[in-house]
Structure 1
Amino acid sequence: MTVKTRFAPSPTGYLHVGGARTALYSWLYAKNQGGEFVLRIEDTDLERSTQEAVDAILEGMAWMGLEWDEGPYYQTKRFDRYNEVVDQLLAEDKAYKCYASKELLDEIRGEQEANKETPRYDANHPKIKAVNEAAKDGDPCVIRFRNPKEGTVVFDDQIRGRIEISNEQLDDLIIRRTDGSPTYNFCVVVDDWDMGITHVVRGEDHINNTVRQINIYEALGAPIPTFAHCAMILGDDGAKLSKRHGAVSVMQYRDEGYLPNALNNYLVRLGWSHGDQEIFSREEMINLFSLDAISKSASAFNTDKLLWLNNHYIKTSDPEYVAEHLQWHLDEQGINKDNGPAITEVIKLVGERCNTLVELAQQSRYFYEDFDAFDPAAAKKHLRGVAKGPLDLALSKVEALSDWTTENLHNVIKEVCEELEIGMGKIGMPLRVAVTGGGQSPSVDAVMQLVGKERVIARIKMALEFIAEREANAQ
């Protein structure tokens, strides 16, 4: 048997963190088993589904690197197939027409609640029977599935173990609305059957749907997939994850400067583990993943841990991979990487200091753009009269350099210290402010090497002019 999983989001909003984790788990299990992964867009909610949400889902999946083997399939393009199966169930008396209006059903529900009964649809209720018996062909009606009245629905969940629900607790759910459109629980079953889905990974909020769907699989004589229902993801305060906890949409994490590999690594550990290991390459995730290692307990989302992971991936990933995802942020911040050193070299130098790609882009700017002002606090502290002599001497030495290497620039700084008998800080910090515009950067000799000779000379001269103007204003 070829394992076949699916991710089946409803396009009523963006791809959120819980959905992204479900997609990741489904994708990993398929890859671990040498199987196939299907993407299906469940857009039967015609009022709430939007093309914008479809695009956001596809964009989020692509950004995470979760390639699908089949799809995307759209349920709205399969209505003829669903109606064919509905008609089959009607012909086999496994479904029936119900003419009861919403108002009548609300009235009956109110009576049940007043009598402290569990509100549920009952085809044998006198008022419903009367309406159905009086109806004529062509009157508006829904089609309901004839759910078994006795016995239980039992399945062995790969995460939660044995789950058993009495059929007495289930009513005859609607499988086609009065407008002719099929409903979610029915379409899912037909799709899984037609697409040969063997394993369904989804949130625990679907357990109630699963027991209803199993009865439909059985009525159709369709194979029942293996189910795995994942626990919820909570915020770090223990409440259900929501917008107030920060980013919820996957693409928000892109916008905030996270690498896909970092988010995937973080999401896989939100409920799944392999010993005490925290860092997983994509290959390790595929090779080690299993459904029975997913926890039944809810997981808490911790942004600090995600930031730590992101910093790790920025520091340790192939610079070409980081550069690929940094480009979006360079474009957002209007930085042209063609106007300076190779971006991969900047990433190697600056990346270790950055938790996000937003920071990395910001700290890359001075390699590609000149500036017309220094950071006021850094300039006030380090571009003073006492720095004029060291900067003058450094300028003459860098102008004379024919071989522009980090080692030679390091020697320039060292020679300035020796000739003027000053500590490294007396030239290092003024040089840093002069060359970068601020007081924070990696090793200044390495920064100067990447910034380039022409820019370094021009910026030191600008710093000397700043000092001269400062001294003139002080008189």
Structure 2
Amino acid sequence: MTTTRFAPSPTGYIHVGNLRTALMNFLIAKKAGGTFILRIDDTDPERSKQEYVDAIQEDLEWLGLTWDRIERQSERLDRYVAAADKLREIGRFYECFETPVELDLKRKKQLNMGKPPVYDRAALALSDDAKAKLRAERGDGHWRFKLDQERITWTDGILGDISIDAASVSDPVLIRGDGQFLYTLASVVDDIEMGVSHVVRGSDHVTNTATQIQMIEALGGTVPTFAHHSLLTGPQGESLSKRLGTLALRDLRASGVEPMALLSLMARLGSSQPVELRSSLDEIAEGFDISQFGSAPTKFDVNDLYPLTGRLLGEMPLSAVADDVAAAGVPADQAEAFWNVIRANITTRKDIAPWWDLFENGAEPVIDAEDVAFVKEAMALLPEGPLDGDSWGAWTKAVKEATGRKGRGLFMPLRKALTGQSHGPDMSEVLPLLKVIKARG
């Protein structure tokens, strides 16, 4: 049974980097007919907020990334206590008392000596009396998992064969001095007990994976299939870390990005497959292949989302945007004709209302100095009565005969005078919808 999970911390809004992880895990489960778990990593009571839990669920629902079950780590603390007890029993867990300052001095000393800054396991030499004295002076210590100092190997779903020498890695802290369980322990226990079979996450977790493999084995669990996707950069290769706050999913939604445009891009970005606009998650899942992704940093440009959004909207029937069209004030009997005229000329749904305003109230004419006399003469030839689909052709023919203008020199000044824009729908369709033509003077 294929089981995957997305485990965000509810300490902020999820962004495009988080989405990449969520989507890959979702698609693996969906393609295999498996289970996708939303696991809220809320073991930090001070930083975790219910408002962010709600926001995470809202953002995933907006995208259609529905979960089969939801778990909260704050409700599973007893399971982590039991796992910690087991690790103590088998001699793989030990208490340490160094302060952050002391640990930092140790690291600096090792670096100065040309050694890797790995924890020296000094706490293993402490007697029970020494531990009791330190506990009395400093309070409870933090607990580290004792790694077997051997090579840890696995075949990564994206990176291929990985081998890490455990001797080059510090024994990971699993419980802080204040008793808080850290991600590494909670995640391992959950993956084992929830039967997680596949884990996809960022390449910054590779070392974590090495230590977690040993922990899973120590606790008697089955090691999942791991895959580590590349990290996102900006369009010029710059770090996204300082900009992720502006790339929250709710901000993209507010800017008008369509869910399927975002999903279509993120499901292929960084892979050897071209980005293809899809209309459903079923289509995306069918073509998803984790092995097609590379390890190189992946460039993400938020501006790529808007052409995809525009294309997606252009393919939508009126029924998909009916609420937006109605909200713009378009009467029901005119909605179909209106949508068919503008659908290929909008980037986001926010552009719907301005088009209706243009048709209802007219546009401020844009007339270049050299076209003032020409536009005035042309407007005098525009019929007053109801205009239809043939009116534009008949009118421009008459203007051409009267002025001698043709081609772009004829059509562009008239478009700009009527709509205030140099681009837009076919003018033969626009002209009948214009209830006010300010360029008449």
Question: Scaled by the length of structure 2, what TM-score is found?
Answer: 0.83
CA distance in 2, matches of 1:177, 1:418: 82
CA 74–346 in structure 1, closer or farther in 2 if over 3 Å, else same: farther
Match of 1:471 in 2: none
Amino acid in the other structure paired with 1:348: N
Over the aligned positions, Cα root-mean-square deviation in angstroms equals 3.6
Match of 1:39 in 2: 38
Farther off after superposition, 137-146 or 50-59: 137-146
Contact 2:142 2:175 in 1 (8 A): yes
Match of 2:87 in 1: 89
CA 172–304 in structure 1, closer or farther in 2 if over 3 Å, else same: closer
CA 109–273 in structure 1, closer or farther in 2 if over 3 Å, else same: closer
Match of 2:78 in 1: 80
CA distance in 2, matches of 1:224, 1:76: 24
CA distance in 2, matches of 1:285, 1:273: 15
- SS of aligned partner of 2:116: coil
Contact 1:3 1:35 in 2 (8 A): yes
CA distance in 1, matches of 2:427, 2:135: 87
Contact 2:367 2:416 in 1 (8 A): no
Match of 1:346 in 2: 338
Amino acid in the other structure paired with 1:321: A
Residues 83-118 of structure 1: per-residue CA shift (max 9 Å, x gap): 232233233433233334444434444443444433
- SS of aligned partner of 2:390: helix
- SS of aligned partner of 2:361: coil
Match of 1:122 in 2: 120
Contact 2:375 2:417 in 1 (8 A): no
Farther off after superposition, 17-26 or 42-51: 42-51
Contact 2:87 2:93 in 1 (8 A): yes
CA distance in 1, matches of 2:178, 2:236: 43
Match of 1:374 in 2: 364
Residues 345-383 of structure 1: per-residue CA shift (max 9 Å, x gap): 43332121233333444334334x536x72454898489
**Structure 2: gaps of 5 or more residues:** none
Contact 1:428 1:444 in 2 (8 A): no
- SS of aligned partner of 2:247: coil
Written as runs of structure 1 = structure 2, the 5 A alignment for 1:3-402 is: 3-71=2-70, 73-124=71-122, 131-132=130-131, 134-135=133-134, 140-242=139-241, 248-274=247-273, 278-282=276-280, 283-303=282-302, 305-322=304-321, 327=324, 336-339=328-331, 343=335, 345-367=337-359, 369-370=360-361, 374-375=364-365, 377=367, 381=372, 385-391=376-382, 394-395=383-384, 397-398=385-386
Question: Scaled by the length of structure 1, what TM-score is found?
Answer: 0.78
Residues 426-469 of structure 1: per-residue CA shift (max 9 Å, x gap): 99889867875666542344235556xxxx2xx25x654xx2xx
CA distance in 1, matches of 2:56, 2:372: 50
Q: Is it true that 1:411 corresponds to 2:390 in the alignment?
A: yes
CA distance in 2, matches of 1:151, 1:321: 58
Farther off after superposition, 171-180 or 296-305: 296-305
Amino acid in the other structure paired with 2:225: T
Amino acid in the other structure paired with 2:340: K
Farther off after superposition, 204-213 or 48-57: 48-57
Amino acid in the other structure paired with 2:285: I
CA 236–97 in structure 1, closer or farther in 2 if over 3 Å, else same: same
What percent of counterpart residues are identical?
A: 33
CA 115–415 in structure 1, closer or farther in 2 if over 3 Å, else same: closer
